[in-house]
C-alpha cells in the first residue's frame, strides 16, 4: 500500500474547484448569483470562445469595499453568512464562499469594483490562485468580474470541454434559466461581440416568461398566470393551456426562492395538475415559482445548489396541483385562416399586387399603404379567432335541447305556436358525413365541426362506465396466474375491482379467477387480464385506467364505416359532454368558422 501524504495546497484547491466549476456555464452561474445578491437590476454578460477564452459579468450593484477585496478569493470567504444559525436561514443565492475561490483556482480572475459604501474603486487579479496587489482603479459603479483562459493550466480538464458554440449555448441556457425568476432585472448576453439576448426589465413573471415562449410561437392568450398563498409560502405559476404541449419535461421549470432546482416531486405535481388535459406522452410548458420561508428549505446539499430539501413539500405539492387543476382549461382547437394576400380584398385594394417568380418560391410586392392594411387585417383576424370560446358546450347543449323539444312536439302531433318555432338558422347540428373513415363532419350555425369518431365514442363509453356498472356472471370463469408481487397486491385490492364490477376470487397461491365482468367487457377479456396482471395503482387511478382501457377497446375504431343514424346519435352525445377529450386526455373536436373558410378562399362577402 502506498504511503499517505498531504496534498499540495494548489492540487487540493483544484480538486475542490472541480466540484463547483465544471465548464464556462458553471462560472457564469456563480457570477450571476453574486451580481443578483449585490442588488443589481442591470447585468451584462459577455463571452468569447464560448466562455473558454473569456467570461465577463458587469453589474450595477453595491460593489465591494477595498477592505473586503483583501479577503475576496480566499477559501470560505463570504459576506452572506456569519454564524452556524445563518446556514439554516439563507436568503441569498451564494453563501459558501467557494465560487470566486474556485474560479480563481482554474483561470485568471479579475475583479474590478466600485463600493457604494466607501466610494472607492479597486481591482484585484487572481491568476490560478496567485494573488496580485490590489490596484486603485476600477469602474465608476458596480462590479465587473472577468474569468479568462479557463482550465489553461489543467489541459486534461480543458480537453473535455465542448466546442465553443456548444459552450456558448449552455451559457445562454443558464442565463435564461436564471433570468426567468428575476423580471425586474435587465439581462444582456453578448457572444463573440454580437448581442444574442437582451431582456429588458418587466413588471410580471408572465411577461418575463413570455420572452422565452414567444419565439417558440406560443401566444400570450395560451398562457395562464396563477397565484396561491400557504401558511408560510406562496406559489406563482406561468403555464400553458391544453393547446401548448411538448414531448418532454424540459419546460417544466421549478424555482424555490429564486433558484432553479431539480425537484422531481414538484415536476410530478405539475403533471398531476394537468391530469387529462394533455394526451399521454405530452408534457406542459410550466414555470413554477415558489417563495418559501428560508427556515423551511435547505440548499446545502449539492455543490452547485441544484437540489433542495423542503420541509413543507407536501403542502406545496398539493397547492401546485390544485392551482393547475382549477386554473388551466382545455382549449378547443380551431382552424385559423392562413395569412396571405387575399386579405387585401377586405382592405379594398386599389391595385393588384405584382407577383414575382423566383424559382419555386414566390414573393409578393405591395405598396406600403396596402401592406400596412394587410398587416392590420391579419393581426385583427388572428386576434379574433385565437380567442377561446369557453361557453361553446353550454350554447350547444341549449340549442340541442331546443331541437329535441321541437322534434318531440312534432312527433306527438302537438301544434307549435308561431313564436315558439325554431328558426332554420338555429338548427343545432346538421350531420354532413364522414371523412377518411375517421372524422365525422357536422355543421352548427356558422361553425363546422370535425370529430374524431373513435376518441369521441371512447369518452362516451368511459363516462357511461363510471355512471353504471352492469355486471354479468361468467359461465366459465377466467383463470389468472400472478407472480408474488401481483398476488400480494391483488390480495389487498380485490375489493377495488369488485367495486368496478370485476369479481375476483383467490384459488391458491398466485392463482385467481374472474367470475364476473361489466357487461361491456365480454369481448375484451384478454385486455382485462393483462391489465390486472400489470397494474399497481390506487383505487382512483385503477378505476380511471381500467375504464379507459375498456372504453378504448369497445369504441368505434378509426377506419370503421358508420351509418347516418349512429353518427347523428354520437354527435348529439358529444355535445352533451362536459369536456371534449378522450380518457387519455386527447382533444377530439376541432372547429372552423364559416368566415375563416371564406377568407381562406379569398371570399370576404
Write down the domain spans for the chain.
9-199, 205-327, 343-385, 429-598
**How does residue 540 score in pLDDT terms, banded at 50, 70 and 90?**
low
Between the two ends of the chain, the Cα-to-Cα distance in Å is 93
Task: Using the predicted structure, report yes or no on whether residue 267 has a pLDDT greater than 70.
Answer: yes
Q: Residue 589 — pLDDT band, cuts 50, 70, 90? A: confident
pLDDT above 50 for 480: yes
pTM of the model: 0.62
Looking at residue 29, what is its pLDDT? 92
pLDDT computed for residue 39 by the predictor: 92
Q: How confident is the model at residue 475 (pLDDT cuts 50, 70, 90)?
A: confident
Dist CA 230 CA 367 (whole Å): 58
Helix (H) or strand (E) holding 310, with range, is: strand 309-310
Q: What is the mean pLDDT of residues 485-503?
A: 79
DSSP 525: H
Residue 311 DSSP code: T
Going by DSSP bridges, is the β-strand pair 42-48/186-191 parallel, antiparallel, or unpaired?
parallel
Taking the C-alpha atoms of residue 283 and residue 242, their distance in angstroms, rounded to an integer, is: 10
Length of the chain: 605
Please give the Cα distance from 579 to 581 (Å, whole number): 6
- Span 429-598: which CATH code? 3.30.1540.20
Question: Which secondary structure element, helix H or strand E, spans residue 260, and what is its range?
Answer: strand 259-260
DSSP bridge pairs for 475: none
For the segment 364-379, the average pLDDT, to the nearest whole number, is: 44
Identify the band that residue 205 occupies on the pLDDT scale cut at 50, 70 and 90. very high
Are the beta carbons of 19 and 303 closer than 8 angstroms?
yes
DSSP H or E run through 171:
helix 164-179
The upper half-sphere exposure of residue 2, i.e. CA atoms within 13 Å in the direction of its Cβ, equals 3
Architecture of domain 9-199: 2-Layer Sandwich (3.30)
Average pLDDT rounded to a whole number, residues 65-90: 70
Which span out of 26-30, 70-74, 366-370, 497-501 was modeled with the highest average pLDDT?
26-30
pLDDT of residue 98: 75
Percent of the chain with pLDDT over 70: 72
Q: How large is the average pLDDT for residues 373-377?
A: 46
- Matching CATH topology for 9-199 and 205-327? no
> Per residue in 140-172, pLDDT tens?
999 999 999 999 988 888 888 999 999 999 999
Separation CA 125–CA 259 (nearest Å): 29
pLDDT band at 9 (very low <50, low <70, confident <90, very high): low
Instruction: State the SS3 of 184-249.
Output: CCEEEEEECCEEEEEECCCCCHHHHHHHHHHHHCCCHHHEEEEEEECCCEEEEEEEECCCCEECCC
> Which of the pair, 7 or 421, is modelled with greater confidence?
7
Q: Which of 136, 166, 134, 139 is nearest to 56 (CA)?
A: 139
Q: At what angle do helices 453-467 and 564-574 cross, to 10 degrees?
A: 60
Grid coordinates representing 252 are 417544466
Q: What grid cell was written down for 524?
A: 375484451
Q: Which residue has the higher pLDDT, 224 or 2?
A: 224
Which pLDDT value is given to residue 255? Answer: 95
**Average pLDDT for 565-576:** 85
Residue 80, CB half-sphere, CA atoms under 13 Å: how many?
23
Average pLDDT, the chain: 78
Across 205-220, average pLDDT: 92
Residue 45 pLDDT class (50, 70, 90 cuts): very high
CA atoms within 13 A on the CB side of 323: 28
Query: Locate cell 357511461: which residue?
Result: 464
In this prediction, residue 112 carries a pLDDT of 95
- Percent of the chain whose pLDDT exceeds 90: 27
HEC assignment per residue over 477-508: EEEEECCHHHHHHHHHHHHHHHHCCCEEEEEE
User: CA-CA distance, 532 to 296, in Å (whole number)?
Assistant: 41
Q: Which residues contact 78 (CB under 8 A, 6 or more apart)?
A: 94, 95, 96, 97
The pLDDT value recorded for residue 511 is 86
* CA separation for the pair 3, 25 (Å, rounded): 38
Q: What are phi and psi of 107, to 5 degrees?
A: -160, 180
**55: exposed, middle or buried (Cβ count in 10 Å: 0-12, 13-18, 19+):** buried
Residue 463 scores a pLDDT above 50: yes
For residue 380, name the pLDDT band (cuts at 50, 70, 90).
very low
Strand partners, 514: 478, 504
Q: What pLDDT score was predicted for residue 536?
A: 65
pLDDT on residue 357: 37
Task: State the Cα–Cα distance between residues 558 and 452, nearest whole angstrom.
Answer: 8
The model's pLDDT over 317-351, given as tens digits with 9 standing for 90+, comes to 999 999 998 898 877 666 655 554 444 444 444 43
Cα 423 from Cα 56, distance rounded (Å): 72
CA distance 242 to 224: 11
Cell of 536: 399497481
pLDDT confidence band for 443 (50 / 70 / 90): confident
pLDDT band at 538 (very low <50, low <70, confident <90, very high): low
Average pLDDT over residues 590-594: 84
Q: Distances from the Cα of 23 to the Cαs of 158, 161, 336, 546, in angstroms?
A: 9, 7, 45, 48
Cβ-based burial of 435 (10 A; exposed 0-12, middle 13-18, buried ≥19)? exposed
Closest CA to 282 of 250, 247, 330: 247
Residue 396: which residues within 8 A CB-CB, separation 6 or more? 428, 444, 575
Task: Quickly list DSSP for 444-463.
Answer: ETTEEEEEEHHHHHHHHHHH
Report the range of poorest mean pLDDT among 277-286, 378-387, 435-444, 508-517. Answer: 378-387
* β-bridge mates for residue 361, sequence order: 358
Q: Report domain 205-327's class.
A: alpha beta
Residue whose C-alpha is closest to residue 512's, from 489, 537, 543: 489
The SS3 assignment for 69 reads helix
Amino acid at each position: 500500500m502506498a504511503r499517505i501524504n498531504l496534498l499540495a495546497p494548489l492540487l487540493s484547491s483544484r480538486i475542490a474547484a472541480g466540484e463547483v466549476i465544471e465548464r464556462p456555464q458553471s462560472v457564469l452561474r456563480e457570477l450571476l448569483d453574486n451580481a443578483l445578491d449585490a442588488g443589481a437590476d442591470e447585468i451584462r454578460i459577455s463571452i468569447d470562445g464560448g466562455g473558454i477564452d473569456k467570461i465577463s459579468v458587469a453589474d450595477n450593484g453595491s460593489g465591494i469595499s477595498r477592505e473586503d477585496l483583501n479577503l475576496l478569493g480566499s477559501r470560505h470567504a463570504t459576506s452572506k453568512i456569519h454564524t452556524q444559525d445563518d446556514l439554516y436561514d439563507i436568503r441569498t443565492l451564494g453563501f459558501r464562499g467557494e465560487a470566486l475561490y474556485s474560479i480563481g483556482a482554474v483561470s485568471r480572475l479579475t475583479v474590478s469594483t466600485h463600493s457604494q459604501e466607501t466610494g472607492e474603486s479597486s481591482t484585484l487579479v487572481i491568476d490560478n490562485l496567485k494573488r496580485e496587489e490590489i490596484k486603485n482603479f476600477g469602474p465608476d459603479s458596480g462590479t465587473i468580474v472577468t474569468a479568462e483562459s479557463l482550465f489553461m493550466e489543467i489541459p486534461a480538464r480543458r480537453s473535455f470541454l465542448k466546442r465553443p458554440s456548444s459552450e456558448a449555448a449552455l451559457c445562454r441556457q443558464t442565463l435564461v434559466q436564471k433570468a426567468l425568476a428575476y423580471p425586474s432585472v435587465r439581462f444582456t448576453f453578448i457572444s463573440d461581440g454580437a448581442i444574442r439576448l437582451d431582456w429588458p426589465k418587466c413588471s410580471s413573471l408572465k411577461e418575463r416568461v413570455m420572452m422565452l415562449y414567444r419565439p417558440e410561437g406560443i401566444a400570450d392568450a395560451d398562457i395562464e398566470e396563477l397565484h396561491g398563498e400557504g401558511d408560510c409560502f406562496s406559489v406563482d405559476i406561468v403555464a400553458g393551456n391544453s393547446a401548448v404541449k411538448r414531448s418532454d419535461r424540459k419546460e417544466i421549470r421549478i424555482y424555490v426562492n429564486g433558484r432553479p432546482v431539480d425537484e422531481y416531486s414538484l415536476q410530478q405535481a405539475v403533471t398531476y395538475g394537468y391530469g387529462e388535459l394533455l394526451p399521454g406522452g405530452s408534457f406542459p410548458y410550466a414555470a413554477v415559482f415558489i417563495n418559501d420561508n428560508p427556515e423551511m428549505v435547505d440548499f446545502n446539499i449539492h455543490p452547485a445548489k441544484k437540489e433542495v430539501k423542503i420541509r413543507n413539500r407536501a403542502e406545496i405539492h398539493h397547492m401546485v396541483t390544485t392551482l393547475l387543476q382549477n386554473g388551466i382549461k382545455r382549449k378547443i382547437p380551431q382552424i385559423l385562416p392562413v395569412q396571405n394576400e387575399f386579405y387585401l380584398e377586405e382592405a379594398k385594394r386599389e391595385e393588384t399586387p405584382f407577383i414575382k417568380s423566383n424559382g419555386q418560391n414566390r414573393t409578393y410586392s405591395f405598396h406600403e399603404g396596402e401592406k400596412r392594411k394587410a398587416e392590420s387585417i391579419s393581426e385583427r383576424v388572428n386576434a379574433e379567432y385565437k380567442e377561446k370560446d369557453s361557453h361553446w358546450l353550454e350554447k350547444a347543449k341549449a340549442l340541442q335541447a331546443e331541437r329535441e323539444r321541437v322534434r318531440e312536439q312534432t312527433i306527438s302531433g302537438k301544434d307549435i305556436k308561431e313564436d315558439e318555432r325554431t328558426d332554420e338558422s338555429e338548427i343545432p347540428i346538421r350531420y354532413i358525413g364522414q371523412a377518411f373513415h375517421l372524422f365525422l363532419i357536422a355543421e352548427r350555425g356558422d361553425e363546422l365541426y370535425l370529430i374524431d369518431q373513435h376518441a369521441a365514442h371512447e369518452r362516451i363509453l368511459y363516462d357511461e362506465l363510471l355512471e353504471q356498472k352492469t355486471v354479468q356472471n361468467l359461465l366459465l370463469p377466467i383463470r389468472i396466474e400472478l407472480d408474488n408481487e401481483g398476488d400480494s397486491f391483488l390480495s389487498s385490492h380485490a375489493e377495488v375491482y369488485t367495486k368496478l364490477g370485476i369479481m375476483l376470487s383467490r384459488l391458491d397461491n398466485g392463482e385467481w379467477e374472474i367470475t364476473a365482468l361489466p357487461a361491456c367487457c365480454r369481448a375484451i377479456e384478454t385486455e382485462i387480464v393483462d391489465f390486472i396482471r400489470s397494474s399497481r395503482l390506487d383505487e382512483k387511478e385503477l378505476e380511471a385506467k381500467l375504464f379507459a382501457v375498456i372504453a378504448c377497446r369497445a369504441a368505434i375504431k378509426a377506419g370503421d364505416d358508420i351509418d347516418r343514424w349512429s353518427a347523428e346519435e354520437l354527435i348529439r352525445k358529444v355535445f352533451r359532454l362536459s369536456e371534449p377529450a378522450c380518457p387519455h386526455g386527447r382533444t377530439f373536436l376541432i372547429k372552423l368558422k364559416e368566415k375563416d373558410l371564406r377568407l381562406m378562399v379569398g371570399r370576404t362577402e
